[in-house]
Each structure stands twice: as structure tokens, then as C-alpha cells.
């Protein structure tokens, strides 16, 4: 048998190749580091596009762990997470799913927007999140003990919460949790400028527009203008699109189909730019 170093790295595809740009909002880096040291599962909560995934990438890079990310959806089955037998010419072959890969080889498994998955899918993580740290692979007849470096992280957006789509209390109670929100104005402008090379004064104006839109949340708007959308607007401006047109396209049209709201937001843009 070849020495372990000669074996291909099963998590090679999930290793980050460059440090992600991340600007901390508060003490989340220290808190996550402590949770990882104890291998406690972490839940990151907050609106879409506010920096949750970027934070987890930053932590995976800082901790030197591969990051196995799964974008959850309602069609996802437990087998999509855990693995399945594949039919091949010579018979069948077991293929680990992303959760099993991370648990077996010591990665951080990040289940993004976990409430999108059905609850019968989500329960497969239970045994991994308590002192047992194991994953029963029933079909394969294996009880996998998680690698010492394995950690489970989930993200979720409380704004989308509904009776049909929520985390079961028995799932929630297995996690520690960090609250995220859009960064404070000066920080958010700095992030947008740094991500896109936009002029900082212009970035501050985009954040001003976002603040106007965020005040409309609950008055017809399900979600405010996120940091992600500001980065998109800035990207268009840097590529030469006129600022007002860029903001209409990147900030307003994606978040509303309502003509009145669209006009209100377009006016907010014209008032700032």
C-alpha cells in the first residue's frame, strides 16, 4: 500500500486556493475559532447576501480546513448528503456524498440555507452534532466516526421563516449560533469599494441607497438590498455603466416586481446619485 502522502487528497476540490477577502463585523472570528476548537456545530443566521458564506470561507482558510459547501434545496434527499451506490459495469460502487466526505476526511461541511431542505433530510445530521460525532451509513452498513477535524456549519435566513419551512427545535438545539446582519454603513462601503475597486465616495452613496430600501422591508419588500447586490451595482459602475442605470439594474429590479415600489426605489437612487 502506498504511504498516505502518495494518495490523492479526497477533499482536494474543496480546498480554498487563495485567502478570501473578509472584513469582520464584530467578534465573530474569535467566537467561531473557539467553537471550532471545541468542534461545536455552528449556525450562522442572517438575511441573504450579508456575508455569511464569505465569513465561513474566511474561517475555513484561517483554520486551514477544506470547505465542503452544499446549497440546500427542497429536492435534496438524505442520499444527496450522505452518498449512494452507483451502478457500474462490474457491479455497484459506493460514492460518499459531500457530508460523508467532510466527516470522513476532516473538512468543514457548510450546509447553506439549510431550511430549504426537507426535515427528513436534515435529521441525518443529528448524530454528527452530539457527542457521538458519527454518521450512520445505513445503506452501506457502516457507522462512520467523524474525523477529529470535522465540523458542521449551517446557514439560515430567519426572514424566510414559515411554518412549513423552519428548523425543528430538536435540530436547532444542537448548534451554537451567530447572528449576522448587513455591515454598518462605513464598513459596508469599505467592503464594496474593496471588492470592486469602486471609488469609496461612490460606494458610500450605494450604501445610502441600500439604507433607504432597507427601511421599506416589511412594507412590501421581503428583503432589503443586500451587500451582494451593492457589489453587483459597483461591478457594473466600474465596468462603465452609468451609476443610475447600474443601480436600477442591480439593486431594484432583482428585488421587486411591484411598479410602485420600483418607482419609490428609483427615486431614492435619483436623490442620492
CB of 44 to ligand ADP, least distance (A): 8
Among the listed residues 59, 117, 191, 236, the single contact to ligand ADP using CB under 6 A = 191
Rule CB under 6 A: which of 156-185 touch ligand ADP?
A: 183
At closest approach, how far in Å is the CB of 229 from ligand ADP? 9
| Least distance in angstroms from the C-beta of 265 to ligand ADP | 20
Check: CB of residue 111 under 8 Å from CB of residue 155.
yes
CA distance 100 to 106: 10
Residue nearest to ligand ADP (CB): 51
Nearer to ligand ADP, 82 or 225 (CB): 225
C-alpha cell at 135: 454518521
| Minimum distance from residue 58 beta carbon to ligand ADP (Å) | 8
Neighbours of 210 (CB within 10 A): 25
Single residue of 105, 118, 228, 262 touching ligand ADP by CB under 6 A = 228
Residue number, 96 or 188, with CB nearest to ligand ADP: 188
Size of the site for ligand ADP (CB under 6 A): 17
CA dihedral over 210, 111, 58, 133, signed as positive or negative: positive
Does residue number 232 form part of the binding site for ligand ADP (CB under 6 A)? no
With CB under 6 A as the contact rule, the residue among 10, 16, 23, 61 that binds ligand ADP is 23
In a 3-state reduction of DSSP, which class is residue 8? coil
What does the angle CA 79 – CA 157 – CA 137 come to, to the nearest 5 degrees? 15
Nearer to ligand ADP, 57 or 96 (CB): 57
Contact set for ligand ADP, span 31-70 (CB under 6 A): 46, 48-54
Neighbouring C-alpha atoms within 13 Å toward the C-beta of 180:
28
Q: Cell numbers at residue 126, please?
A: 443529528
Q: Which long-range contacts (CB under 8 A, 24 or more apart) does 163-170 make?
A: 165/115, 165/116, 166/115, 167/114, 167/115, 167/122, 168/119, 168/122, 170/126
Q: What does the binding site for ligand ADP look like in residue numbers (CB under 6 A)?
A: 21-23, 46, 48-54, 183, 191, 195, 227-228, 231
Amino acid at each position: 500500500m502506498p504511504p498516505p502522502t502518495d494518495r490523492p487528497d479526497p477533499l482536494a476540490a474543496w480546498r480554498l486556493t487563495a485567502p478570501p477577502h473578509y472584513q469582520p463585523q464584530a467578534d465573530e472570528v474569535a467566537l467561531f475559532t473557539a467553537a471550532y476548537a471545541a468542534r461545536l456545530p455552528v449556525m450562522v443566521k442572517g438575511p441573504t447576501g450579508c456575508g455569511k458564506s464569505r465569513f465561513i470561507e474566511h474561517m475555513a482558510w484561517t483554520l486551514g480546513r477544506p470547505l465542503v459547501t452544499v446549497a440546500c434545496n427542497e429536492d435534496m434527499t438524505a442520499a444527496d448528503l450522505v452518498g449512494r451506490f452507483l451502478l457500474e459495469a462490474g457491479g455497484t460502487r459506493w460514492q460518499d456524498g459531500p457530508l460523508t466526505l467532510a466527516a470522513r476526511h476532516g473538512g468543514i461541511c457548510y450546509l447553506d440555507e439549510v431550511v430549504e431542505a426537507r426535515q427528513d433530510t436534515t435529521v441525518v445530521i443529528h448524530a454528527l452534532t452530539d457527542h457521538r460525532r458519527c454518521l450512520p451509513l445505513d445503506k452501506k452498513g457502516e457507522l462512520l466516526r467523524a474525523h477529529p477535524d470535522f465540523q458542521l456549519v449551517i446557514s439560515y435566513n430567519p426572514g424566510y421563516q414559515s411554518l412549513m419551512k423552519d428548523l425543528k427545535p430538536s435540530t436547532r438545539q444542537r448548534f451554537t449560533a451567530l447572528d449576522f446582519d448587513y455591515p454598518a454603513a462605513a464598513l459596508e462601503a469599505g467592503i464594496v469599494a474593496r471588492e470592486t475597486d469602486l471609488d469609496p465616495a461612490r460606494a458610500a452613496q450605494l450604501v445610502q441607497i441600500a439604507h433607504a430600501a432597507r427601511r421599506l422591508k416589511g412594507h412590501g419588500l421581503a428583503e432589503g438590498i443586500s451587500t451582494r447586490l451593492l457589489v453587483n451595482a459597483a461591478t457594473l459602475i466600474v465596468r462603465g455603466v452609468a451609476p443610475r442605470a447600474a443601480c436600477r439594474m442591480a439593486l431594484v429590479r432583482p428585488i421587486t416586481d411591484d411598479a410602485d415600489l420600483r418607482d419609490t426605489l428609483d427615486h431614492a437612487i435619483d436623490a442620492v446619485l
